[in-house]
């Protein structure tokens, strides 16, 4: 250790100085008797003992402080630095170091508690932020009036299902549903009643669908439905929807019907919109043929 070497150095230093003095005296006393040389030897031995004692008194407290400092994380905080010395300066140093260590440990404890508190706050804020983000994403993909999906969601689902069809040949049907003579409802009863009609139809469509089906408001009084992994049976579902809607009684007692156009995605389609265009054409045919019916292309 560095301190041990310090003790040795101090001992050697004082020893060399003493030896130099003794040699000087021995040279001076060269011509004197053997008794006098013996006395010089005794003095030399006593000087060495004295030098070692002084070095020990100086170095021992420093060694103790050093050992405690090296193991500072495991020391007793009630009395960290205890040194066996009567030297006032070393006692003062030990007290100062003890107070410093207590302060450091208190600050460390405070920092750890603060860190835990900050982590909890960050976790809570992160959870709240994630919830808000999820709500914003949901709002951005749902129609504010009816609560069903909107055009943004339609584009995403159509693209996904079309790519899946191209990759795995999992077909789907696009259904367009239009409320017959809806404009007359707004003109006669007002837009507030018209909005309630749309909400009721949207809720009815949702209740008739499977969990895997997709219902969205396409625009105005039109709704778009995507039926995954369906073919001819989708026409049966369209007819079921048409009969369910026609059986409803709306807020002011009026009865309404719907026209439906359908199209199944096929291998010749180049884009997701191709099936939608065919479904729209089928819907036009249903309206031209007198409404309140389903047509498939």
Q: Which of 63, 221, 222, 239 is catalytic?
A: 221
Distance (Å, whole) CA 220 – CA 193: 14
Instruction: Specify the DSSP class assigned to residue 7.
Output: H
Give the integer Cα–Cα distance in Å for 227 and 214: 7
Q: How many CB atoms lie within 10 A of CB 243?
A: 12
Taken as a whole, the chain contains a residue count of 297
| DSSP letter, residue 73 | G
Which pair of tokens denotes residue 250?
């709306």
Q: What is the strand order of the sheet 214-219 is part of?
A: 214-219, 222-228, 172-179, 258-264, 294-296
Q: Check if 288 is active-site.
A: no
d(CA 248, CA 179): 13
Residue 292's SS3 state is: coil
Distance CA 23, CA 44 (A): 10
The DSSP code for 148 is S
Residue 169 zone, left/alpha/beta (φ > 0; ψ -120 to 50; rest): left
Query: Please, which residues bridge with residue 261 across strands?
Result: 176, 295
Phi, psi of 241 (to 5 degrees): -60, -40
Per DSSP bridges, beta strands 294-296 and 258-264 are parallel
Residues tagged active-site: 221
């Amino acid at each position: 250790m560095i301190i041990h070497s310090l003790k040795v150095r101090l001992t050697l230093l004082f020893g060399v100085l003493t030896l130099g003095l003794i040699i000087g005296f021995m040279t001076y006393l060269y011509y004197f008797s053997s008794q006098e040389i013996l006395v010089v030897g005794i003095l030399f031995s006593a000087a060495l003992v004295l030098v070692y004692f002084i070095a020990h008194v100086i170095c021992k407290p420093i060694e103790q402080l050093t050992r405690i400092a090296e193991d500072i994380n495991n020391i007793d905080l009630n009395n960290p630095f205890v040194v066996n010395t009567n030297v006032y300066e070393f006692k003062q140093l030990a007290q100062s170091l003890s107070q410093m260590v207590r302060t450091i440990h208190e600050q460390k404890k405070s920092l750890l508690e603060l860190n835990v508190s900050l982590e909890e706050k960050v976790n809570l804020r992160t959870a709240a932020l994630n919830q808000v983000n999820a709500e914003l994403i949901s709002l951005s993909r749902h129609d504010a009036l009816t609560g069903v999906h909107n055009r943004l969601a339609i584009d995403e689902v159509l693209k996904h299902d079309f790519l899946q069809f191209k990759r795995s040949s999992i077909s789907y049907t696009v259904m367009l549903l239009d409320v017959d003579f809806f404009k007359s409802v707004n003109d006669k009863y007002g837009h507030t009643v018209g909005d309630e009609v749309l909400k009721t139809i949207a809720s009815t469509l949702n209740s008739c669908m499977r969990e895997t089906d997709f219902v969205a408001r396409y625009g105005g009084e039109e709704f778009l439905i995507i039926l995954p992994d369906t073919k001819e049976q989708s026409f049966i579902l369209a007819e079921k929807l048409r009969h369910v809607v026609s059986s409803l009684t709306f807020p002011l007692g009026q009865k309404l019907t719907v026209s439906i156009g359908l199209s199944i995605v096929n291998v010749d389609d180049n884009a997701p919109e191709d099936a939608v265009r065919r479904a729209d054409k089928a819907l036009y045919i249903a309206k031209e043929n007198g409404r309140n019916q389903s047509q498939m292309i």
